[in-house]
Structure 1
């Protein structure tokens, strides 16, 4: 999960940028209505969990990891012989990925990217369906990036939620970073959105408290 805040002139004091620098929190996502959600920073820097493994097992090369952060997933895939490229707007996250042997670009998913239309798997994990605050626009862009027979693997909120908002990162002392657009989707909302974009839900699964869906183009699925 990443935003543009690492590029801010004040990045040195921004809670999110500091969390990326140290690899630990606590750092929170402060929603516009006052809710505060703790972000699992330590997990972004750790080895893949069993829930992550359930995603990695479904990846077909080549893989594009959108909002890849410090690169735990793309590095794990490369270690298994699956080509994976991370894309993230936070320079520190990209540098960490590369330093540990991963491949990553410091770029937005909405920028020009390599091999557009040729990725067999595109990942939106760790809440990254919220990037940009407009899941329809984000999924539309990911469809452009994905090969006709490719899949989008998306992690959704475990709750039945559909929310677009402005959020900020905040540390334990209440110091805030700049606002940015964000979104949260549960599985029912993603089902509805997928249908409106001519996508089919190919698979869906849970692992612990985390929930995932695999989406593919309807015209690439026999019988649809």
Structure 2
């Protein structure tokens, strides 16, 4: 039996197009939708994430870069960050700016980004959405906005350990979280933010948040 591999290597393998699934704490399995993330943005992506951004935008966990690429094509200054070398390579191949960077590391332009995107469930990164939102708030200009994808009403706040299964090979577990529309206001408040709007398109949901003034 092959030894489990680290999650970053699993993401690298997944983004090359290998068959990948997410395995949750209870053994539930769902597809890891690399094909969607590698494709061109659809109308939902545009309505929820691309059209609202008209100034400097950072995409956290940018994956293969479909959002960053579309923003750059609109002449919006945008940068993606990701821990996957393959994701960063593919984003750059789109002609977009991307860095191999963890969100908790130093990010160029900290305090000067107008928008920060947490699309495709990336509010779950690290399993602690309060800590993540507080960190994202640090990279924004005063009044800057976080646009985060959230789950439907009733999802609440779930913290779990996940694995990626790539071509039958499991990664070691990593922390993840799911935040529903019913929980995002409390999560935002705990991070020193407030929800200013929510939006739904094509069955997907976002919450737009700003930092509370101090």
Give the alignment's TM-score, normalised by structure 2.
0.91
Correspondences of 1:191-202 after superposition (within 5 Å): 191-202=185-196
Unaligned runs of 5+ in 1: none
Is the alpha carbon distance of 1:159 and 1:39 closer, same or farther for their aligned partners in structure 2, counting shifts above 3 Å? farther
SS of 1:219's equivalent? coil
Aligned counterparts of 2:16 and 2:26: Cα–Cα separation in 1: 28
2:3 maps to which residue?
none
- 1:98-117 CA deviation, whole Å, 9 max, x = no partner? 12201000010000011111
State the alpha-carbon separation in 2 of the partners of residues 143 and 71 from structure 1.
22
| Aligned equivalent of 1:53 | 46
Structure 2, unaligned runs of 5 or more: 1-5
Residues 197 and 186 (structure 1 numbering): CA distance in 2 closer, same or farther, change over 3 Å? same
Residue 189 of structure 1, CA deviation: 1.2
Which residue in the other structure is 2:99 paired with?
105
Structure 1 stretches of 4+ with a deviation exceeding 3 A read: none
Question: In the alignment, does 2:23 pair up with 1:21?
Answer: no
Q: CA deviation at 1:53?
A: 0.4
| Maintained 8 Å contact 2:192/2:211 | yes
1:140 deviation in Å? 0.6
Judged with a 3 Å threshold, the aligned counterparts in structure 2 of structure 1 residues 149 and 78 are, in CA distance, closer, same or farther, namely same
Alignment equivalent of 1:85, drawn from 79, 83, 87? 79
| 1:164 equivalent among 159, 163, 176 | 159
Root mean square deviation, CA, Å: 1.6
- 1:44 corresponds to: 37
| Cα pair distance change 1:174/1:159, threshold 3 Å | farther
For residue 159 of structure 1, report the CA deviation from its aligned partner.
Answer: 4.8
